[in-house]
Every structure is written in C-alpha cells, then in structure tokens.
Structure 1
C-alpha cells in the first residue's frame, strides 16, 4: 500500500485535534499534486492570488473532478446557489442577496440585531444554571447561530428545531472521509430538496404577508436586477440557512476552547469587553471554522509557485495552512489578540468572501464576551475534546466544560 500523502493524513479523522504540524509540512511545497489529480495549495500568497484570479472557477460544471468523484450537481428543480457560480451570475445574485442584508442599502440590519443577540445569549446561558458540567457546542454554540439565521431569514421560532437534523445531514455530505461520493450526493440532494420545499412555502407566505426579514426584503426589492427568481431565492435561502450557522458554531466553540487554553486572555476579556473585536479576528486566523476550500478548478492553464495547474484540474485551497504561514504572520502558532496587520483567510478572500461575515463576527463577539463574564471558574473536562470528523468545517463535536455556577447577566 502506498504511503499516505500529507494531504491524505490531514483528511484522516485522527488528525482533527491538531492538524497544524501537518499544515507546516504541507507548506514546504506550496503546490502539491495528489494521486487523484487534485492540486493542493497551502501558502498564503498563492491562496490569495488564486482567490482573486478570474481563472479560478467555483462552478462545478467547469470541474474536471477526481475520477472517483464526479462533479456535484444541484437537486432537480433548483439552480446552483451563488457560492457555486462564477461572475457575472455570482455577482448579480450576491448583490441581490446583499441589498436587504448589508451596506449600502441596509447598513443597520446586523447592528440592529445586537440587542436581540445579547438578550438571546444571556437567555441561553441562564438555561445552564444549576449544572456543574455543560456542553458548549450542543447547549450554546449551536443554538445561538441557528436562532440568529432563522430570525434573519424570517423562519418562525417553532420551526427552528427542524433545521438541526437538516443542517447536520447536509454538512456531513461535504466530508470527503465519510461514505461514498454517490451516497453523499444523494443525501445532499434529499436534504436540499426538503429544505427547499419548506422554504418555498415560507416564500409564498411572505409574498402575501411581507415582514421585516431577509426573505421579505428579497421579494419586495425593486432595485437593479430585481427581482430574484423564485428558484434562485429558494437556493439562496438554503445556502444561508446552512452556511449561515454552521461556521459560526465552530467559531464560537473553537473560540471557547482557545480561551480556556489561554487563561490570561480569558481574564483580559472579562475586564475588557472591547477586546472581543480583535480577539475574534485572531481566532479567525488561529482556529478558523473553515479549514479548506474544495471544489474549485481553473478555466485555463495557470502557473502557481513554479507549478503549472492544467485547465479543468480540481484545486483545494488550504486556508488554515495559509493562516499560519510564517512568511505572512510573525510567530504564527501563537494566539495573540493584539496582533496587527491581521489579514487572515478565516472568511476566505476575493469575490467569494464570506457573505455572512458581518453577522458571524457580531455573534462571536457577543457570545464569547458573555461566556467569559458569566461562567464561573470554567475548566475543560477533556482536552482535546472529541472532534467532528469533517476536515473542512473543523470544530469540536462536543465541548464539555465544568463550571462552578453562573455570574449575573449584564
């Protein structure tokens, strides 16, 4: 049997607790070609250059996928969401989605959620009262982002629990180490179809009775390129519901774990809540929720760090390896919330920069500050904690923490 490549070792679930030594080895060769034909890019400068290069395609219809895995498609009846489209279609759909969400058309949308996020955070922490051990993932880090993205889109409160199973099943299909590709694709299409059917009903309801939510905003938009088609609106809503919370779960869980390993920083955050802004940026570099971007290809032969990647070849961009590239970040393996010039890759880069980044930042800032302030004498019950096997969306499956009670809400 051939020896596993560094990238194959990274994909091994046994490496999930600490993949960073493998990333350091991977960076010694900025571009490596895997046995299945995938090109893996691991250094900061090369990753950023590719993410800004119009020859890099996100559209699976352009991919010459590895022989064992044909390019994924969409479930019948639903178009590709905008994250899997190239300009100009990507740009048109992203602009439409952004108008009811962020600047310049809706500059107050995310900031306007701060009071509700703070109140919801404190309510979720209140529910931990009387327990000596809590699971930060299941009891808190999952529940807050789900509530936030559902509120943003306009999903009724009573329907929110339904998304737990859908989200878990959908995210598992992106794990290349879990099951056969055909089986994962079938599951992904089923979940997208179920989510799509639910959201189609919600869209029809909002069409007749619009409220102050993102779906209503998209339906009533009269700006350039509007309206978004009904099927594009369904695909966009599915994308935002899944991507809009899953990465934030990891950000909050990874952040809590890091703070418990860095007690001096935890103490600083208790007394300096304004530190949360820089702290979250450093978390996005040091322990990002998304470790790699897969399912990309090049539209023409392209030279990267002395290697020619041929047209159509699949590419994987190792964001987490780039985030600890010593050629870009001094002392990259040290967690430093005072780090300057922190242009991390935690939300990607280029035209596909994370759409939900503004909301994720605010959620993490509020959540981590409240946990630091209110959990009394928090201690890790297991270090490392058990991780989910997914190498792309890396985060603890559970994060058991022992506490001596709760402090008062602000």
Structure 2
C-alpha cells in the first residue's frame, strides 16, 4: 500500500525519522519532499551542520560532507553492487550489463572498450558541429519571436541531437526518444518514491529503448559504419569485444545519460547566471582567469545529479560505523559541493573559482565517462547564447522543477531574448 507523506509517495510502512538540527534547533526538513525541489540547498546545509550522517526514509544512511563523499567514492571497497542495490529502480534490473552498474573486473573491461569512443581527440573534433547546432537553434528562436521556452527549444535539443548523431539515430526519432527519456529520468529515483503509473511508464520506456537499439545493433553488424555504435561494435581490447547484451545496455545508457544530465547542466547553469548578473557578465565578456572553468563552477553550484548510492563490497567501517557486505549508503553530492570545509564561500556562484574539486561528475573509477563531452556542450551552448542574446532575461512566469529527486532539472525555462 502506498501513501503520500510530505509530498512523496512512499510505502505506508515507511516513516521519516526526524532529523534534529544543531543544538536542538528544531527538525531539519526532508530534502526528498516535493516542496524541497525548488531549493534543497538550505536543507542540505542544515543536515550537513547537524551530523556526519543521517538515517533516511530509504533505510540507509546519507552522507553530505565533502570528506565523507570523496572518501567513499575513492575507496575500492565501495562499489555499485553489480546492480543489486534495492535503491535503484527497474531500469537497473533491465540494464545490469551497463558498465556504470558494474564493479571490477567487469567494470574495467566494459568501460575500457566504451572509452575508446570518448577519447579527447573524438570529443574535440565535435566542436564545429556543436557550434553549428547552437547557432542554428538560436537563429530559429529569434525567428519565432522575443519570448522562447529555452529548455525545450535549446537546452534539450543540443545534447539530444549530439548523442543521437553519435549513435546514428535518425533525427525523426528524437521526439520519441525525448518522451521515453523523461519517463526513464523519473524512474532513476528509488522505487519507494514512484507512483504505480510512473513505474509503469518507466518500465515501458526501458522496453522501448531496448527494442529500438536491438534492431539498430543488428543493422550495424550487417553494415559497418563509422558512428559511435559502429565504433563500439568494432572496439577491441586484448582480444575482447562488446557482446550484444553489452552493446544494448551501453546504447540505452549513452542515449539517456548522454543528454538528460547535460540538459540540466545547460538550463540550470543559464538560470544561475541570470540570477547572478555579475557572474553572467564575466562569462559573456570572457573575463575569466585561465585556470578557472565556469562550467565546473555551474555544476558545483547546482548539480544535475543530486546524489548517488554505493554498496559495501565487503565488511568495512566508515567514520566509526560498521557496514556489512551488501549494505548501502547515499552520497548527497550536491550537499558536498557546498561544504565550506572544501570550498570558500560555497553558497556563492563564482565563475572565476580556481581548480574546482567538485563531485558533480563523481570521483574514482566511476568518474563520468562523458564529462568532457558535457563540458564541451555546456560551454558552447552557454557562450553562444550569451554572445547572441547578451541582454537575455527571465520572463515573469514562475519556474517549476521536475519531481525527480536524483536528477535535478527545470520543467521549463521561459526567457526573453534580446
């Protein structure tokens, strides 16, 4: 049986343990509640200040401090549990061959093969096409009038077009993919917070993606191509290769991860700059020190992926707490990225911040394989837009966020181009 508890669908047997603030200052709100979607960061701060770890509604502890999150991400005794973690939804049950769900040695083998298609040379060669795409989309937006919905007309279309072209997916299928990806994004959240209808749509999206790529892989095997899927089929490492099951899981992962998080990187980043005009001006005017990366600062400030889970691969101890093999933790990376022990004045957006050590792309062996592509897409998308529309402004329309708790992103981003 399900009930609605503080804006979240949870099993009736679940309760949320009250989190007491520092020095008895009252309870800390639930960061997974619907009302926290607009701005979870004050809640993260209170939790981080109150205790090292907090018990959650999912029955596992959550860590919010940078030192804890970084240590667990680096520690090879923690892993993904080869897809066994109950915190993950049915997407994992149908896609366990994906290398991000694996631990060594299988993770090492699969990631090594896929990484060949994401070499620095391959990514750098994509710059002209991404620049062309951004310019064309801005031309289209100016042609339709001053007010546009930037998320759907721009932030979404750049990364989805790029990854579809990389995989050899026809342009006419991108609209269909966007609907499936939306269902799958919500389905990334733990099973406990999904309504029955959301779980059903998520499961249908998984089946649709897998069937689509099963047919596409068969075509590529029969007719060699030079796109990403063709290169994955031809990938070799010490006599090894990707099986059809590996390819299928990898395609679903790349199509979804290759655009959904980057959409939020671009749209969340643009919103943050519009709300901080002095920082927007520095990016627009290229008034930045060489050692800084404004994209890294944007994802530190408002991370598209708010938290990840890790599984103890053996009996171990962290910060005085014992974990049995198979037990899980949540790492709230978005909270760690604003930890004052790791970052000076962390609540302030500073596009000139040097050498950001944020955790938005992860750390250790599971560091995001597509981080360089996401950075390139974000840099081109934002710089091109600010150059073409230097006085762009938000419209009075209220902003709303998607209900997702793991992947943070806007529903819409209405702006006036000028």
Considering the TM-score relative to the shorter chain, is it more than 0.5?
yes
Q: 2:67 aligns with which of 45, 58, 81?
A: 45
Tell me how far 1:363 sits from its aligned partner: 0.1
Tell me how far 1:343 sits from its aligned partner: 0.8
8 Å contact 1:17–1:384 — kept in the other structure? no
Partner of 2:359: 345
8 Å contact 2:183–2:198 — kept in the other structure? no
Partner of 2:102: 85
Instruction: Quote the Cα distance in structure 2 between the aligned partners of 1:211 and 1:72.
Output: 29
Q: 1:169 aligns with which of 174, 179, 183?
A: 183
Determine helix, strand or coil for the equivalent of 2:352.
coil
Q: What CA deviation, in whole Å up to 9, does each residue of 1:200-235 have, x standing for no partner?
A: 111121122222211101112233253200111011
8 Å contact 2:91–2:187 — kept in the other structure? no
Q: 1:94 aligns with which of 100, 106, 111?
A: 111
8 Å contact 1:253–1:396 — kept in the other structure? yes
Instruction: Quote the Cα distance in structure 2 between the aligned partners of 1:273 and 1:225.
Output: 49
Tell me how far 1:116 sits from its aligned partner: 0.4
Counterparts in 2 of 1:5 and 1:97: CA distance versus 1, 3 Å: farther
Instruction: Quote the Cα distance in structure 2 between the aligned partners of 1:58 and 1:196.
Output: 22
Give the 5 Å matches for 1:132-143: 132-143=146-157
Determine helix, strand or coil for the equivalent of 1:308.
strand
Q: TM-score, normalised by structure 1?
A: 0.89
Tell me how far 1:133 sits from its aligned partner: 1.3
8 Å contact 1:37–1:314 — kept in the other structure? no
Counterparts in 2 of 1:228 and 1:128: CA distance versus 1, 3 Å: same
Instruction: Quote the Cα distance in structure 1 between the aligned partners of 2:353 and 2:128.
Output: 28
Gaps in structure 1 of 5+ consecutive residues: 405-410
8 Å contact 1:55–1:300 — kept in the other structure? yes
Determine helix, strand or coil for the equivalent of 2:322.
strand
Partner of 2:250: 236
Tell me how far 1:151 sits from its aligned partner: 1.1
Instruction: Quote the Cα distance in structure 1 between the aligned partners of 2:341 and 2:191.
Output: 31
Give the 5 Å matches for 1:317-328: 317-328=331-342
Counterparts in 2 of 1:53 and 1:383: CA distance versus 1, 3 Å: farther
**Aligned: 1:287 with 2:302:** yes
**Aligned: 1:316 with 2:330:** yes
8 Å contact 2:306–2:334 — kept in the other structure? yes
Tell me how far 1:257 sits from its aligned partner: 0.3
8 Å contact 2:293–2:354 — kept in the other structure? no
8 Å contact 1:79–1:231 — kept in the other structure? no
Tell me how far 1:384 sits from its aligned partner: 6.2
Instruction: Quote the Cα distance in structure 1 between the aligned partners of 2:216 and 2:377.
Output: 25
Give the 5 Å matches for 1:236-315: 236-272=250-286, 278-294=293-309, 296-315=310-329
CA-based RMSD? 2.5
Give the 5 Å matches for 1:76-225: 79-102=96-119, 107-129=120-142, 130-176=144-190, 180=194, 185-225=199-239
Instruction: Quote the Cα distance in structure 2 between the aligned partners of 1:123 and 1:178.
Output: 42
Gaps in structure 2 of 5+ consecutive residues: 6-14, 20-27
Counterparts in 2 of 1:249 and 1:5: CA distance versus 1, 3 Å: farther
Q: Which moved more, 1:251-260 or 1:187-196?
A: 187-196
Determine helix, strand or coil for the equivalent of 2:118.
coil
Q: TM-score, normalised by structure 2?
A: 0.87
Tell me how far 1:305 sits from its aligned partner: 2.5
8 Å contact 1:34–1:40 — kept in the other structure? yes
Tell me how far 1:181 sits from its aligned partner: 6.9
Q: What CA deviation, in whole Å up to 9, does each residue of 1:3-31 have, x standing for no partner?
A: 76458711112111111111111112121
Partner of 1:407: none
Instruction: Quote the Cα distance in structure 1 between the aligned partners of 2:141 and 2:217.
Output: 35
Partner of 2:11: none
Instruction: Quote the Cα distance in structure 2 between the aligned partners of 1:287 and 1:147.
Output: 24
